Structure 1
């Protein structure tokens, strides 16, 4: 009898790669993530292919670049024709369960304009079975709190304010009024254990999402004071935000326009005005939220150990995107900086691994997750998939012709809560950028704005733009050609391997 295969896909929110102890964040306490890194492979050069949440999760769960799935911003619909991980798993006999969210706006051609899903930031992606949804509007979580007997305030989001306060004026180490045992992290964990205990000995796939360390940057006790601001890593930014803003018109727009209110309920003022002490406090809270998630994962891992399922289960840990955390005077996930795009990826196969505890430096992207899961379960990635399976890395090899650069994109067209397209005088379809990045160079190409070029060996924090320097004209040309070739190679190809012949339809091997 074949051994059953389970998959636990853990997708956290806004967790950047340099807040992983195995990658150098020795100030963090994450024993359960540490265990996963010891038993699996940690990927050092891993990026999301898009930000923010909706586009990032669309790439993760379809295996498509933003240029192909075109759910280019939060609130922009995902075309229903695209295959995704949930649909693909159903084709090979799995009933894919989802806890958390995917921030997917439905295809309007499949429903009507009065569909209430068009009034929210995003809903659940077709193909998955929700067993602990956060969306829409966090109703599942707030209902769970009420069922637990917690008296919700008139404005439900006030649970993330300190006791007795009606706003958070800025960075704080005060705890939110909701206790840790009733936090959103606790909710997701209880839903996960409920699902797993109901499955018995049947194979399963679970997308286990956590909202944290996503804002608001306020943690429940005792996580609010678990870390000292003094122990947080140094900020990477120029002496003033105005010097940063001079680098590029898009950066100038965000530095002038991002409000602290997006990160603290009731706060005012620009995020770029936060001083170093405030940023360190934010980072300490962020670290506390990370440890809260890690403690929760410990409960899930313990259950898998107790029931003998740990060795039958592939565990993948990743994030949708990163977080600027004050670097370059920014908060959130925007633009073209590494802090927004570099994310964790740790993969443990079922059973002992020949590379357990190793760190892999090859370039990997979020589009690689779907083909990896499908291959491991005996399925096949769709022809249109832009990613490749990373299973050979786990088994001690390296796939032939593996990529020699990273590729990621950002679309900054106007949406309900941000209007860079209008402010910069761009057309809707010119408000976009793509990045080609390797060990030496990072090239940022804009459709309607000047490009950027950074020498990563000499300027790893990407302060000095060399794109207009005639001495680097050849590098700009080379990397612009790389970007163009990459886009041409990955242009939509669902049916391009078929051809009609005098003998009938033929399917070519890609």
Structure 2
């Protein structure tokens, strides 16, 4: 009898890697994530290959680098020709269910310019079947609240204001006006359990998305008071934001332009004005939102245990991207800093229990998730995929030719809510950077701006740019060549293994 195989892909939003207890965040209370780390493999050096949300999820769900899928920013369409995880799963006999969102703008060649999806930040990626929508405009969640009898305010987002008429929007220990029982985290969890219980004993794939710990940074009771600000890790930043701004013109743009309003509903003021006390309170709230998601995962895991499905389920836990959380005087996910790109990855493979509880230091990237899942299900990984299956590493059989550095990208062309391109006087196709990073060096190459080089051994906080230092010219040249070679090696290759000849079409595996 063929063994039943299920896949649970958990994708949280804006959860950075150093807020994982197994990786050093001992102040966090996450018993269910801890269980995943005990029973699976936790990846220490894992990055998203792109930020923000739309590009990050495009890379996660297509297995392609930004340079190949070209959904380079939120609001930029994803080419319909690309294979993605949803389509690939259908090719191995699964009906891929999705709870949450993918922030995907459709290919305009496949629909009308009047398609209402073009008025949104993004919609659902083709190939998946939604069983718990959040998009468009969070209507799925707000409709659920109304159906539960909750009286929605005229401005629906006011549910994320602090409780109390005298409350001031901003970093606060007050709870949100919405209760934990009616939070978006509760909504996604209910949708997940409804789907799983309806599926019964049939094999399934579920993309279980959570919006948290994405802002607004306000948590419902009791998660708002679960952590003390004084117990939060201190910020990594220069004494003044202008010291950081002097490092690079793109960094200066963001340091001057990011406001608090996108992170605290109704708040004013610039992100660079936040004092250490406010940042620690923000981090305490962020940690509370993490614990809320963890408690929700406990409900899902309890169902898998009760129905004896845990032993047949590949569980992948990851995030779309990280969050600056005040480090380098920044909020959000932007640029080239580790806080934006380093994310959690924990994989529980029931076929590889010998490595349970281990921390893996190999360099891994978000583009590895698709091939890992398809490989585990016995399917063929798409030829164009830039990532590689983690299956051998999970079994303790790391390939000799595994990657020797991390590679990730960021595109900062103008979108409707941010205009660095205009401010810096660049053409839209000049607004890109890529990073090559290993244990010792981090090199940031810009298409039309000066490069950056950081000595991670002596400057882990990345405060001193060495790219202009003649003593480091050889290092700059070496890592610039690495970046070029990496891009050439991963140039689009969907059809490059085919050959025509006197005997007709041939296919070469190597």
Please say whether Structure 1 and Structure 2 have the same fold, judged by a TM-score greater than 0.5: yes
SS in 1 for 2:269: coil
Q: Quick one: distance in 2 between partners of 1:246 and 1:364? A: 32
In the alignment, is residue 297 of structure 1 matched against residue 297 of structure 2?
A: yes
Q: Deviations over 1:138-184 (max 9, x none)?
A: 00000000111111011111111123449853211111110000000
Gaps of 5+ in 2: none
In the alignment, is residue 175 of structure 1 matched against residue 183 of structure 2?
A: no
1:433 aligned residue: 433
What is the Cα deviation at residue 352 of structure 1? 5.9
Q: Deviations over 1:85-116 (max 9, x none)?
A: 00000011000000000000000000011111
> Where in structure 2 are the equivalents of 1:16-27 lying within 5 Å?
16-27=16-27
SS in 2 for 1:153: coil
TM-score using structure 1 length: 0.99
Is the CA contact 2:13–2:211 (under 8 Å) kept in the aligned structure 1?
yes
What is the Cα deviation at residue 261 of structure 1? 0.6
2:493 aligned residue: 493
> Where in structure 2 are the equivalents of 1:328-407 lying within 5 Å?
328-350=328-350, 353-407=353-407
Q: Quick one: distance in 1 between partners of 2:400 and 2:133? A: 39
What is the Cα deviation at residue 13 of structure 1? 0.1
Is the CA contact 2:12–2:210 (under 8 Å) kept in the aligned structure 1?
yes
CA RMSD, 1 decimal: 0.9
What is the Cα deviation at residue 400 of structure 1? 2.9
> Where in structure 2 are the equivalents of 1:441-480 lying within 5 Å?
441-480=441-480
1:325 aligned residue: 325
Q: Deviations over 1:476-510 (max 9, x none)?
A: 00000000000000000000011110111111113
1:62 aligned residue: 62
Gaps of 5+ in 1: none
Q: Deviations over 1:28-63 (max 9, x none)?
A: 000000000000000000000000000000000000
Is the CA contact 1:168–1:265 (under 8 Å) kept in the aligned structure 2?
no
1:119 aligned residue: 119
Q: Quick one: distance in 2 between partners of 1:318 and 1:168? A: 33
User: Which of structure 1's runs of 4+ aligned residues deviate more than 6 A?
Assistant: none
Is the CA contact 1:48–1:341 (under 8 Å) kept in the aligned structure 2?
yes
What is the Cα deviation at residue 397 of structure 1? 1.2
Is the CA contact 2:8–2:315 (under 8 Å) kept in the aligned structure 1?
yes
Give the total of aligned pairs. 510
Q: Quick one: distance in 1 between partners of 2:460 and 2:162? A: 38
SS in 1 for 2:392: helix
> Where in structure 2 are the equivalents of 1:24-63 lying within 5 Å?
24-63=24-63
TM-score using structure 2 length: 0.99
What is the Cα deviation at residue 350 of structure 1? 2.2
> Where in structure 2 are the equivalents of 1:205-354 lying within 5 Å?
205-350=205-350, 353-354=353-354
Q: Quick one: distance in 1 between partners of 2:145 and 2:230? A: 35
